[in-house]
Structure 1
Amino acid sequence: MTRGLYKQPGGKLVGVTVRLSHADSDYADSDYIDSAHTNAVKTVPYAGPAASSTVIECHIDGDFFLDGDDAGTRNLLHSMECALEQCAARCLSDSMVSERDVTAAVERTMLHHPDVRIVGMGARGIAIAFQRAIDGIDGADGIAGIGGNDVTKVEPRDDLRIRRHTSPMETAETAEIAKNIENAGTAESDENAGTVGTGEIAETGNWAEYARRWHALKPNIVHDDPRKPQEQMDLDVEWAREVAAGTREPTLRFWEWAEPAVVIGRFQSLEDEVNVRTAQDEGFHIVRRCTGGGAMFIEPGNTITYSLYAPLDFAHGMSVEESYELCDYWLVEALRALGLNVRFAGLNDIATQYGKLGGAAQRRFAPTHGGPGAILHHVTLAYDIDAEKMTRVLNISREKMSDKAVKSAAKHVDPMRSQTGMGRDEVVARLVDAVVRVTM
């Protein structure tokens, strides 16, 4: 069993796991339910000489984003996994499969799902992660491997371990958390919802148009009471659905966290992203949100989070990238007024010249009951951070940091406290005032 990783420069991270099992083992598809997209991982029997004893199972995870409805998202991920399983079967039969072959197979699958778009990752990136997983399998397992000059050998290391959700090999504590976040993910799933993220942003949007749309939106502004992590996840989906149905006015909610949390993205692997035992020992609650992107390390006094629940037509006529600029327009203006040199960075980050300040994610909710549909856009900012604790709780792979100028995850994040000298409550108050002003 191996897991290969690939970080697309300026984009997101994808992981591909490949598992070989003997046919007489006592596992079933239900043992490998994926809490990221709530469908069983399908296995493709190998039809070669070892077919009586071996099956192949592939799984895709990561912090990428998907733009499409829920059913389409599930179908695309499942189809790509099946395509990789077929490629792995060819490797098992001693056929040489090039990176280009795998890329072409994934691209063909994407073409069959035109209504779903992967944001932050491409077919070649998925092929490279698959290649690295195959290369990591011991030769005794019968894998021929990837042929050609594009072979990338990856030495075995911690971030190549494969651990599947709620598998019999997990600890009881890990399985219980996986079960909890799987249930949460199912509850948050929306049959007509997708997840989107930004592209590379050069801040070229029409800011006058952004200001006009915010003035017209006039959202209700709520500085919420402290809530537990799972309640925050549930409330986000509940309010977004209410806006989608036309039963709630546009709203911007400032969160207050009642407890420490690790919030993993919709398509991430729990065990590969979080040191579960350490998180438990440190008092962190682990939850899964309904949007893509990476894991968030939350300590109540060190974090500022907000959500925007707006009708779909708020971003009408805009690309995904432009919609991120639109939704964060007021925030960038407010942070600059605090003296921060803020810019959009990568796919979904907000940064200064010193490092990452925060990250955003979106999900679209289709209209229901004659309503306008909704955009859920949420942002988490680092007011302060215990970087040493973060690196103990989160499993941050070398691959994830591979395209960063600063290779240390602890140094990659630069919080507001060090740049403003203000207390957290003062910063939040200034942000509330700023969003009120842009809607006047």
Structure 2
Amino acid sequence: MMRTEWHDHDWQLIHAAPQSPSLHMALDDVLTHEVGAGHRKPTVRIWEWASPAVVIGRFQSLRNEVDAEAAQRHGIEVVRRISGGGAMFIEPGNTITYSIYAPLSLIKDMSFQQAYAFMDAWVIEALGGLGIKAWYQPLNDITSEGGKIAGAAQAHRGGAVLHHVTMAYDIDAAKMLDVLRIGREKLSDKGTTSAAKRVDPLRSQTGLPRAAVIERMIATFRRLHGLTDDTLRADELARAEALAQTRFGSATWLADVP
């Protein structure tokens, strides 16, 4: 397998209407497989969330990460993704999430650190265009002078790499601390105010609406690497909807730590 560059691929963009957390998990699985099998061109997907969620990593313990009672009280669905990494607290209007489904040839012979930096370079350039001096913080964060902006995770499946990123556009730090256990230990001595400072959202840094930040991100990727507007195929959506019910929406998958 030869190493490929961004421009060797005909990148497609999917930006669909809001979808449920479990469907997002399933779509990542299906689309990674489709790109790996050569049935779909390399694709960037911008997520829209239909409802709030906590997304835990593939190797995390549900009990250790999430206060299930608090999540239920706030109407927050807890789901598990196929990639590693930490828990993400999601509220639809406060979060920008995207996935890149790429052939493994794009990151051939790269270390994890190199692959993360390489896959996030375009978004760091987009943020720069919005006046945010951001950089890659190993292993899987994007940060700025104000604080952390985003967390990334990756999974290799078949012939493809899934690289997905959740960015904080705005954040309800108190609610996040109520639901995520991990933040409490880290921050119990410092109080909630420092929790709000640890993550510095894009809204306070840019003053722009969420849609305008996404628009700039898409335009930057298009300019750097080329991007054609696309949609989910009916068979992709049908397979994802089935998986969302049988696997990603199941208590078994949520509780399963390999």
- Structure 1's 383 and 397: CA in aligned 2 closer, same or farther, altered over 3 A? closer
Please tell me the residue identity of whatever aligns with 1:308.
I
Q: CA deviation at 1:414?
A: 0.5
**SS of the counterpart of 1:329?**
helix
2:113 pairs with 1:321: yes
Partner of 2:39: 247
Q: For 1:360, which of 152, 165, 170 is the aligned residue?
A: 152
Deviations 1:129-163 (A, max 9, x none): xxxxxxxxxxxxxxxxxxxxxxxxxxxxxxxxxxx
Measure, in 1, the Cα distance between the counterparts of 2:86 and 2:182: 10
Q: Say whether the 8 Å CA contact 1:217–1:314 is kept in structure 2.
A: no
Please tell me the residue identity of whatever aligns with 1:292.
G
Partner of 2:234: none
Q: For 1:431, which of 206, 217, 222 is the aligned residue?
A: 217
**SS of the counterpart of 2:100?**
strand
Deviations 1:238-273 (A, max 9, x none): 000111111111000000000100001111111111
2:92 pairs with 1:300: yes
Q: Say whether the 8 Å CA contact 1:401–1:407 is kept in structure 2.
A: no
Q: For 2:178, which of 382, 392, 402 is the aligned residue?
A: 392
Deviations 1:208-264 (A, max 9, x none): xx9x92222231011122110000000000000111111111000000000100001
Q: Say whether the 8 Å CA contact 1:216–1:439 is kept in structure 2.
A: no
Q: Say whether the 8 Å CA contact 2:45–2:100 is kept in structure 1.
A: yes
**SS of the counterpart of 2:181?**
coil
Measure, in 2, the Cα distance between the counterparts of 1:292 and 1:407: 28
Larger Rg: 1
Q: CA deviation at 1:397?
A: 5.1
Give the 5 Å matches for 1:252-331.
252-331=44-123
Q: For 1:375, which of 152, 156, 161 is the aligned residue?
A: 161
**SS of the counterpart of 2:18?**
strand
2:13 pairs with 1:227: no
Q: Say whether the 8 Å CA contact 1:355–1:413 is kept in structure 2.
A: yes
Larger helix proportion of the pair: 2
Identity among equivalent pairs (%):
53
Partner of 2:29: 237
Deviations 1:167-215 (A, max 9, x none): xxxxxxxxxxxxxxxxxxxxxxxxxxxxxxxxxxxxxxxxxxx9x9222
Note the residue ranges of structure 2 that are not aligned, 5 or more in a row.
Answer: 227-258
Q: Say whether the 8 Å CA contact 2:152–2:166 is kept in structure 1.
A: yes
Deviations 1:350-396 (A, max 9, x none): 00011110100000012xxxxxx000000000000011111111112
Aligned residues: 222
Measure, in 2, the Cα distance between the counterparts of 1:399 and 1:297: 16
Partner of 1:129: none
Measure, in 1, the Cα distance between the counterparts of 2:213 and 2:48: 13
Partner of 1:334: 126
**SS of the counterpart of 1:380?**
strand
Q: Say whether the 8 Å CA contact 2:113–2:138 is kept in structure 1.
A: no
Note the residue ranges of structure 1 that are not aligned, 5 or more in a row.
Answer: 1-209, 367-372
**SS of the counterpart of 1:226?**
coil
RMSD after superposition: 2.1
TM-score (norm 2): 0.81
